[in-house]
Amino acid sequence: MSENPKVEYRAKDFASDQEVRWCPGCGDYAILKSVQKAMPELGIDKKDIVFVSGIGCSSRFPYYMDTYGFHSIHGRAPAIASGVKMANPNLSVWQITGDGDALAIGGNHFIHALRRNIDINILLFNNRIYGLTKGQFSPTTSLGHKTKTSPQGSIDNPFNPGELALGAGAQFFARIEDINPKGMVDIFIEAEKHKGTSLIEILQNCVIFNDKVFKEWTAKEVKTEAFLRVEHGKPMIFGKERNKGIIQNGFKLEVVEIGKDGITEDDLVVHDAHEEDITLHMMLVNLRMPMVTGVIRSVKRDTFNERLSQQLEEIKATTKFKTVDDLLESGETWEI
């Protein structure tokens, strides 16, 4: 992709002429705005950007972007996006998906896209519910949660998307809440810059079927204390007063107060997003209070496409088959 597009874009250049049709107040609006804000900063030509989605409320997203877009079928977007990227590695490919789309029907494709590290950016809109089909529990719905198909409370163990992704070999995982526009923009930019499949879990509020499901973290009274925003190379400090931190105690992370019990900033864990070993990242994605946001893991590894191009080039350079005629005439042949 050309790093310097001919035109300087503004966010509104990425808005298509289609009317956005999510429920008023849906978290999806804020995500759309942030993506449109991040785009000009990436310096990629509009013609080289593709949004691919599955099915769900969030999957309407590509229609609203004035780029190339493909609204496909339920759960299969990772495979379609992979095909797009393999066909043309120059494209910047973004996959938009929901928790049902990615983790239920598309679970298989989701883990394989991460495993292959094919260099697409996956934005997982996690509202812990099926929005489009009007309110059934999803693979991220909490145990005991009442929904239309779990009127007595869900008895399904939920997935933690970050844990699943790291287990599947994800080399880039970030998490962010939909009420943090600036945070989203930064992360989208980082995700695109990362060479490899990037997964961003966005805690997205569905006002209609699962309103305030993240209120434990996002409610006004608590939100300044409930999120730990990690940054590579920085100690893990959080809280309105910036007086809380994280230390490692055996195989667990623990919340401590700076200044109490002789704890100083030096005792805190310093975030290392680039560490190949996933132990720390696993602990971070599993922490519940505070909820860890930011880029939790970002490790450079060969992408599938790099290997594919390299293999194709090597084979082309060494083969005796230059055209299909050479192939057809090869092997045992005879004259009649």
Partner 1 sequence: MEKTKIKELEKVVVKFVGDSGDGMQLTGTQFAGTSAFLGNDIATFPDYPAEIRAPQGTVAGVSGFQVHIGKSHIHTPGDKSDVLVAMNAAALRANLYSVPSGNTIIIDTDNFKRKDWEKAGYDSDPLESEELKKFNVVKAPITSLTRKALEGIGLDNKSITRSKNMFALGVVYWLFSRPMDYTERFLKGKFGKKEMILEGNMKALKAGYYFAETIEALPSAYTVLPSDMEKGRYKSVMGNEATAWGFLAAAEKSDKNLFLGSYPITPATDILQEVAKHKHFGAKAFQAEDEIAGIAAAIGAAFAGDFAITTTSGPGLALKGEAIGLAVMTELPIVIVDVQRGGPSTGLPTKTEQSDLLQALYGRNGESPVVVVAAKSPSDCFDMAYNASKIAMEHVTPVILLTDGYVANGSQPWKIKKMADLDDIVPYTINSSDNAETWEPYIRDENTLARKWVVPGTEGFEHRIGGLEKDETTGNVSYAPENHEKMVKVREEKVARVANYIPDLKVEGNQEGDLLIVGWGGTFGALLTAGEEVEANGRIGLAHFNYIKPLPKNTAEVFSRFKKIVVCELNNGQFVKYLRAELPQFDYLQYNKIQGLPFSTSELIDRFTEILKED
| Closest approach of ligand TPP to the CB of residue 278, in Å | 26
What residues from 99 to 158 belong to the interface with ligand TPP (CB under 6 A)?
A: 99-101, 125, 127, 129-133, 138
137 binds ligand SF4 (CB under 6 A): no
3-state SS assignment for residue 68: strand
Handedness of CA 169, 175, 178, 182 (dihedral sign): negative
- Choosing from 69, 78, 131, 139, the residue that interacts with ligand SF4 (CB under 6 A) is 131
The Cα-based distances of 316 to 57, 144, 191, 322, 328 in angstroms read 44, 57, 32, 8, 17
For the window 30-49, what string marks contact with partner 1 as x by the rule CB under 8 A? ---------------xxxxx
| Closest approach of ligand SF4 to the CB of residue 23, in Å | 3
CB 283 within 8 A of CB 252: yes
289 binds partner 1 (CB under 8 A): no
Q: Angle 180-286-98 (CA atoms, 0-180°, nearest 5)? A: 55
Residue 328 touches which member of ligand SF4, partner 1, ligand TPP, none, C-beta under 5-8 Å by kind? partner 1
CB 256 within 8 A of CB 244: yes
Interatomic CA distance for residues 275 and 287, integer angstroms: 18
Interatomic CA distance for residues 335 and 113, integer angstroms: 49
> Toward ligand SF4, which CB reaches closer, 58 or 303?
58
307 binds partner 1 (CB under 8 A): no
Backbone phi, psi, residue 92, to 5°? -95, 110
CA atoms within a 13 Å half-sphere pointing along the CA-CB vector of 222: 12
87 binds partner 1 (CB under 8 A): yes
Residue numbers at the binding site for partner 1 (CB under 8 A):
16, 18, 45-50, 52, 55, 62-63, 65-73, 76, 78-88, 90-91, 108-109, 112, 308, 311-312, 315-316, 318-319, 321, 323-325, 327-329, 331-336
Residue numbers at the binding site for ligand TPP (CB under 6 A):
55-58, 74, 98-101, 125, 127, 129-133, 138
